[in-house]
Structure 1
Amino acid sequence: MIFYSTNKKSTPASLKKATLEGLATDGGLYVPSDIPRFSTDEIELLKEAPFNHIAFAIAKKFNEGEISDDSLWEVVENCFTFKTPLVGLEKSTYVEELFHGPTLAFKDYGARFLAHLTGYFAKEDHTLITVLVATSGDTGSAVAYGFKGVPNTRVVLLYPSGKVSRLQEQQLTTVGGNVTALEVSGDFDDCQRLVKQAFMDAELKQRLALTSANSINISRLIPQTFYYAWGSLQLAARHPGKKAVFSVPSGNYGNLTGGVLAKMMGFPINHFIAGSNANDSVTRYLEEGRYEPNPTVATLSSAMDVGNPSNFARLRHFYGDDYRAMAADISGYAVTDNETIETIGAVYDRFGYIMDPHTAVGFRALEKFRATNEIFDDPAAVMSTAHPAKFIEAIKKALDMEITIPDRLQEVLDRRKVSIPMSTNYRDLAAFLMKL
């Protein structure tokens, strides 16, 4: 398949080129030239298929023979060795748990797939690839663990100092090996800006084979369609004749974009709810048709603290820059920190289920949607993006109780943090990268 830039000023790329470049040379994000479609018969055949079979069927459509079927199947099998449970809370209300991978966050799906593809291409070209990543929390740890030990790759993570949870920071800064963590004296938008500048730096790109593992990379986005396809088929089986509604905690909007792609490919999805926190630029766009991003605001749902989300460019592309068309598929709701805490408590009281702050934003947004859209009686799943143990402070504030920390997370907390301070000045980052 051919991929081209949302800015439409760079040369179209193969899957390999788009994966290894990360960001197009004109600063745009790669999108497929045509969104692959699944016929009714193809969907029917996948209804009872295991997760990895659904993932392989989708990946094969985007691959179009660039990687052999055997190699692509090996990538899928090596990536998705964990479950994707769909937990029922009450009739027609579910939580799709996306936090059962190595770092207990949904980013494991995209990061592991990208890492294995990048390793495959690097081995093919006998090249050392430098993976440059900006993270607001879970992306960095998922990328670090996804690429850990992958031959011919090294990873440089940029994260905002003091703006990720302690556990997230420990996961970012204790991997070692081929992974380096840079602690940036700014917010996530600063980290993201620095990464974009690096990709636009011709001199740097001559010296290093740079690629990105953020959701700006098309091979991070493609696997995010897998769990929407899986979830929609699971819901369709439990609720015959109905299509799925997904409520998505949204920060950089890559997760939601993956869902939109799954819907456009033909999977049984009716509607999306984009739950935002105080960083509500897309929520306001869906209401008013004007995109006016504000500076990033720190919240309890820190991984969603993105003032100017990159993947919004892809959403605008897919909907022809028509906000009414986008709003027909996506309803946006902003959720305050107080509402987030209240929701964690209310959900625990009603169902005995503990949600992390991001999942709570998605649940509260679903409640707001249902309060004003009674005509939608389709089954709904909240996409649960992180294990609650990754946000112990927020859980304790909401529930006044301690929760058990999984052994693999406790082990990370006991390790020594290793990070390199970095300013928000691009010259400092460039100088550091040139010395790698």
Structure 2
Amino acid sequence: MKLYNLKNPNEIVNFSQAVKLGLGKKQGLFFPIELPKISKEKIKKILKMDFIKRSSKILEFFIGDEIPKKELKKRVKLAFNFFPTKIIQVSKNINCLELFHGPTLAFKDFGARFMAQMISYLNKENEHITILTATSGDTGAAVSHAFYKMKNVRVIILYPKGKISKFQEKLFCTLGDNIKTIAINGSFDDCQFLVKKAFNDRELKKKTNLNSANSINISRLLAQICYYFEALAILPKKNRKNLVISVPCGNFGNLTAGLLAKSLGLPIKRFIAATNANDTVPRFLTNGEWKPNKTISTISNAMDISQPNNWPRVEELFKRKKWNLKKLGFGSVSDKITKKNLKKLNKLGYTSEPHATIAYKLLKDQIKNKEFGLFLGTAHPAKFKQTVDNILKKDIILPNALLKRSNLPLLSYNMLPNFNKLREFLLEK
């Protein structure tokens, strides 16, 4: 698999290099030179496979023979060793694709665990690696648990202090060992800026063997393609026609993966990019101007991102496939309307959380006659227990993954959004 740097197309790397580097020169994202296409007949056969066999096959189309097929399947099985997805009916033509049945109760378990397996396989010389990642809530837990106690890997997670839910924080800030967490006194964009600055520091990058586990890493992105195929495999054939998928968007990695699934040949009619009040992309799609505002804190905190990293990949894919960007559905939803729709979903018999609720609201508004809609459930409602309980006046039962960590002490460091301080931390700890 060959990939090029979107900011410097002359920089061409293979899959292994892209995984190890994370970002290219000038903080450019890596993107496949070849976009594989699967025939309709092969798609039908692939959809009949079990999840592990199907996921291995999908990843083969991108990775090629760079990793032996037997080894790739073994790593996929180790990464996806949990019940992958469920589809729950919400109304006659709208279902929820639940992606939160992994160990940290969020869709990010797919990408983080596959990346951990790729790093483990590719690090044959047992080099010491530092994984530096920013999180707006769920990435931190998924990455921390995926790499927990992994030999020669140190993980450092930056997150905005006081701007993620209590249970999100408990999931990854109570592990210790090779997992270090830093609460930054700022926004997620501040955290992301610090990560990018670290990758621009050549000396730091070399001394710490720096990598990132954000969705900027190609291994995470490719892994997420797999559950879109799983969704089609689970759906009755009659509901696969005119399928519309609404995706809660923060860094836009989830949407990018869905679009890559469509590019492969998966029959998805269209997507809806659903955001909260941090609406850089909806405004851009409306007026053509890229003007990120200051990040606003919302009840859908994992989407509190004003400068989404993966948007250049979305634009590149539309350009390469000659798709019309104007056909991408989009919209933003305020906290007030999110709360109303959380209550509406509850009346329909489905307990959701703010992020999925935003995707549901926009899907409900934009779905047309004879279309069938899926909105992505990206995290378990219990991860936002206080918010959901307050809105719905109920007491959500905590799953074991949260219950066993709820009373553990936080082990986080505190830091101002100061790059020199972070640099010292990376070099000393």
**TM-score bin, normalised by smaller chain:** over 0.9
Query: What is the deviation of 1:327?
Result: 2.4
Q: Distance in 1 between matches of 2:207 and 2:342?
A: 48
Distance 2:320 2:272 in 1: 19
Residue in 1 that maps onto 2:309: 310
Query: Secondary structure of the residue that 1:262 maps to in structure 2?
Result: helix
Quote the residue 1:368 is aligned against: 365
Partner of 1:382: 375
Deviation string 1:284-319 (CA, Å, 9 cap, x unpaired) is: 122222221111100000000001101111111112
Amino acid corresponding to residue 66 of structure 1 in structure 2: E
Which residue pairs with 2:237 in the alignment?
237
* Distance in 2 between residues matched to 1:354 and 1:256, nearest whole Å: 23
Which of 390, 399, 415 does residue 406 from structure 1 map onto?
399
Matches of residues 118-129 of structure 1 in structure 2 within 5 Å?
118-122=119-123, 124-129=124-129
User: How does 1:145-294 map onto structure 2 within 5 Å?
Assistant: 145-235=145-235, 237-239=237-239, 242-294=241-293
Aligned position for 2:386: 393
Shift of 1:87: 1.3
Match of 1:345 in 2: 343
Q: 1:323 to 1:285 in 2, by over 3 A?
A: farther
When the two chains are superposed, the root-mean-square deviation of aligned CA atoms in Å is 1.6
Distance 1:235 1:327, change over 3 A: farther
- CA distance change for structure 1 residues 61 and 39 in 2, over 3 Å: closer, same or farther? same
Residue 412 of structure 1 aligns to a residue in which SS?
coil
Does the aligned pair in 2 maintain the 1:232–1:243 contact within 8 Å? no
What's the CA shift string for 1:313-348, capped at 9, x where partnerless? 1111112299982221x2111111011111111111
Which residue identity lines up with residue 402 of structure 1 in the other structure? D
Following the alignment from structure 2 to structure 1, what is the Cα–Cα distance between the partners of residues 8 and 319?
Answer: 13
Asked if the contact 2:114/2:220 (under 8 Å) is kept, the reply is yes
Q: CA deviation at 1:368?
A: 1.8
TM-score when scaled to structure 2?
0.97
Q: Tell me the amino acid that sits aligned with residue 146 of structure 1.
A: A
SS at match of 2:27: coil
Q: Distance in 1 between matches of 2:143 and 2:317?
A: 26
- Structure 2: which 5+ runs fail to align? none
CA distance in 2, matches of 1:220, 1:294: 27
Instruction: Give the structure 2 partner of residue 81 of structure 1.
Output: 81
Q: Which amino acid in 1 is paired with 2:342?
A: I
- Say how many residue pairs are matched: 428
Please give the per-residue CA displacement for 1:57-85, whole angstroms capped at 9, x wherever unaligned.
Answer: 11111111111111100111111122211
Q: Return the letter of the residue paired with 2:101.
A: H
Q: After TM superposition, give the deviation of residue 113 of structure 1 in Å.
A: 0.4
**Alignment check: 8 A CA contact 1:279 1:306 kept:** yes
- 1:10 Cα deviation from its structure 2 partner: 5.3
Q: CA deviation at 1:226?
A: 0.7
In 2, Cα distance between equivalents of 1:98 and 1:208? 33
Q: Which amino acid aligns with 2:190?
A: D
Whichever residue aligns with residue 150 of structure 1, its letter is M
- Given the alignment, which residue of 334, 339, 354 partners 1:336? 334
Aligned match of 1:140: 140
Q: Secondary structure at the match of 1:239?
A: helix
Rounded Cα–Cα distance in structure 1 between residues aligned with 2:289 and 2:323: 11
Does the aligned pair in 1 maintain the 2:7–2:25 contact within 8 Å?
A: no
Q: Which amino acid aligns with 2:339?
A: I
1:89 aligned counterpart, secondary structure: strand
Q: Distance in 1 between matches of 2:125 and 2:92?
A: 52
Runs of 4+ in 1 over 6 A off after TM superposition: 321-324
2-structure distance, mates of 1:71, 1:261: 23
Contact 2:133 2:157 in 1 (8 A): yes
Separation (CA, whole Å) in 2 of partners of 1:389 and 1:37 = 39
Q: Mapping of 1:42-81 within 5 angstroms?
A: 42-81=42-81
Q: Shift in Å at residue 229 of structure 1?
A: 1.7
